[in-house]
Structure 1
Amino acid sequence: MDPVAPPSRRRRWRLVRALVITALLVTIGPLLALELGYQVEIARIPERPPDPPPSLPPLVVRSLGVQLFDTPDPRMTPIYPWTPFIGLARFYLGARPHLIPEELAARQVMRSAGRPQPPTKLQRLIEVAALATWISRHLSAREAISVALSQAHFAPDVVGIAAAARRFFDKSLEELDAGEIAALIAGSAGPSMYPDRPERLRAPRDALLRKLHDHGLIDEPTMQAAMERDVRRFK
């Protein structure tokens, strides 16, 4: 029998073209679908961060960075359709999922909007993901943290760190010292600033002050002076 003849050049070209088209559909198709889904969802969501973003004192913003991200200057990169795949790859390689500035800001903006939440957890996650994506593409990490602080609930009737400074310390945000900033930032994670026993704030406040000192944001005398003061609370 004669050996099988090799495929013609035209057949080889058709095969290569089919493989290329298939590869493009497999790789680019899901990315386009994700981007389209984001555009549809973000157009449906009315919430957006304030424009322009609030301008807060640097120590306030960097203190929350230290508290939540263990760095005064957390990084934030724009979220694109391929970002979830990179995140999944990192997860399978052992990286743990963690809170990111854009997600923090998105959750606070959604909470402060007062709009009824979607009925299912999946729908809520999709809305937060869409808004976090928008924030990552339009704001810096410092602006996202400033948005989160300006929208955070420090008590049922106290929204935003500027209002919290006035309520709890009877000062403007710019007048707060390092100890008062640390108390507000540390207390924002607790139930309504520990209204019954404000002394519970001492331990988390002092822990944050030590972190601020370790990161070079405050010096030793400032840290010690702040730790020696009682945790004050104004009504």
Structure 2
Amino acid sequence: MPNLFPTVPKTLSLFAEPAKTVVRVIDTETAGQRFEEDAVLEIGSVDLDIATGQIFNPMQTLVDPEGVVINPHARRVHQISDDMLFGAPRFAEAVAPFAGAAFYAAQRAEFDRPRLRLTGRWLCTHKLALRAFPDVRAHGLQSLVKYVPLDLTEVRPQFEGLHPHRALYDALCTAVLLRSIAEALMPRCQDVADFLDRAEQVSNQPALLAKLRFGKHKGVPLRDVPPDYLEWLIREPGMDADAVYAAKHHLAQAVVRGARADRTGTAG
């Protein structure tokens, strides 16, 4: 994966403070409304020490939606009932125990981060998984569990009474995912701090898609999409930012491959 997470050597400072290596892996379930009208219904998290791989400190809480109506589709997905929410703390009280981490990670950080409003550095495991496991069939959380595959043996005892799309369940799966991502990408990094810096940078960029999600080449790996189609995609107004970013990347890599082939041909 040299072009997806390239090795970047750097000189370590003799006076650097010890790196913070613990990431709070977090997930939220919501009422399923538009962002401005949405409400958090549940928060779950575990801490992952990137340096050791240890997963610990599970936390979970239901949250009072304070009158926000729960979308029927969202309720079918997470199965959180009104009876379960009766007597739950309001958001400000519920989120307080989750604050204070240096790093947070979520499978779709652009969803969880604005809803939780927790101060810290954020990682997106979806965008990182696209770099670490580009050839996996799909990059949703449960697809990654199935197709990487992820070994959930260590965290499975904590699943009791839960199911996918409950906050703690998904946080536990995401922690195992992040640990697997670190195992795949860390050899390309100088140290844990370098990995976290670069993982944060990737998380703040558009997603480097592995396949197109629309159009006549839907489902085709982007490296196999004809260059003229990628060039059209980039020029098209209002195009999906992730698709444009990925198209530019793959066009640039095609130029690199062509230059390398030319050099090889000349040398021969």
Indicate whether the TM-score tops 0.5. Answer: no
TM-score of the aligned structures, taking structure 1 as reference length: 0.27
Bigger Rg, structure 1 or 2: 1
TM-score of the aligned structures, taking structure 2 as reference length: 0.24
Per residue, is there more strand in 1 or in 2? Answer: 2
